[in-house]
Amino acid sequence: MKDKKRHSTFAVYFYINKHKIKKNGRCTIMGRISINAGIARFSTKIDIQPDAWDVKNGKVNGKKRQTTKINPTLDLLARKISFHYEDILEKQGYVTAELVKNVLNGIGEKPDTLLKLFAEHNEEFKSRIGINRVKTTYYLYTLSYRHLAAFIRQKYTTNDIALRKLNPSFIDAYDFYLRIEKQMAQNSIAIHIIILKKMIKRAIRQGTLKSNPFYAYALEQPEKKCRHLKADDIEKIMQVHIPSKRVCHTRDMFVFSCFTGLAYRDLRNLSEKHLQTGEDGGKWLCFKRQKTNTICNVRLLEIPRLIIEKYRNERKSDKLFNTVTFSCLSDNLKKISQLCRIEPITFHQARHNFGTHITLSQGVPIETVSKMMGHHSITTTQIYAKITNQKVNEDMKQLAERLTGRYTVFEDAKEAR
């Protein structure tokens, strides 16, 4: 059977393999779908006697009762395959033998529109929360889904768009929408564009897209900056009097992270099992970073050791600290900023403080810092080193200003001529 109208090489053929005869002497009728150079084979699950098969016509011989049943069944199956071929080609703009076979078997009939694909991804992601995914990332995906849905409604006056209709102008328009309509900063735009491109890769893996329609799109990457505090601001945070016990606890967690480089999620997961004693008797934090799954070994300095001891008697489990929710933590950090009369701070800045002030600025080799912070690549750590060099330059400028006019060059008296 061939379809000359849509694709000259599309064909469906039925055959039996006489070399694979079952114990009862029968053979299974097999089907072969060929599209261009691609071939996909499948079983019809119909068995016959080998001598009853007409190899030339791909049908059962004779006028027996089994013939009147089998041949119409094969004809119906061929028509189903042709229908699936036409349907996939219409929806996706291209078709392969494997795609037709999968749909025929009820396998892998994947979403052919962008938002359906995105929703499928989010549902899968949600089912993995608590196993190898976290809620905060899931919320980011749902937010990105809403932005994309709003853009499609506004731009195309429809509730979804077919994957095969995506083109370079789509992603350019989405970039413009996020930048102008939503007034997003470049970092936020980059996050949502990266998520969109992830959905496209998913469609390619599923076979619903043949190639990446955004392959030529170049994402504008903002220069990565290290967001550490000034040394004086860290000192203010450590010394300020805080009447609220809850806010004081947040300050201590922030300071603990400043001297260990832990992100909030890793701090929350810390337990007694992560405390190790080194060969020299020193205390270490040994844990696997949740974000990158890398092993981190951080030697405990005096201040984090004191903070651990301070809250030892308040533990409700084997966790080192009774941590509050991230939103509560953020609210407390705003109060601390106000008490210290400094710019608003975030908890993640503590990690930057560790990379800059506590380690690199004090001469700790960048390779050591990279390992302690759980970076996959030393390139990430070099961001901190770049800022450190800038800090050295700023400090030397301040020193030059303080020394101006304080010293003069000694000159020998000139001999009289």
187-241: pLDDT as tens digits:
889 999 999 999 999 999 887 888 899 988 887 765 555 467 788 888 999 999 9
**Is the backbone of residue 184 left (phi > 0), alpha (psi -120 to 50) or beta?**
beta
- Residue 349, H or E segment: helix 348-353
Compute the mean pLDDT over every residue in the chain, rounded to the nearest whole number.
Answer: 84
* pLDDT at position 389 over 60: no
Higher pLDDT, 373 or 124: 124
Cβ–Cβ < 8 Å for 110, 208: yes
Which DSSP letter does residue 361 get?
G
Cβ–Cβ < 8 Å for 222, 190: yes
Q: Give the helix, strand, coil percentages of the chain, each rounded to 5.
A: 55, 15, 35
State the burial class of residue 31 (Cβ atoms within 10 Å of its Cβ: 0-12, 13-18, 19+).
buried
**Beta partners for residue 38, in sequence order:** 35
Q: Which CATH superfamily is domain 231-402 in?
A: Intergrase catalytic core (1.10.443.10)
Q: Which tokens in the block code for residue 256?
A: 């603990």
What pLDDT, in 10s, does the model give residues 321-364? Answer: 998 988 899 999 999 999 999 988 888 888 888 877 778 777 77
* pLDDT at position 35 over 80: yes
pTM of model > 0.95: no
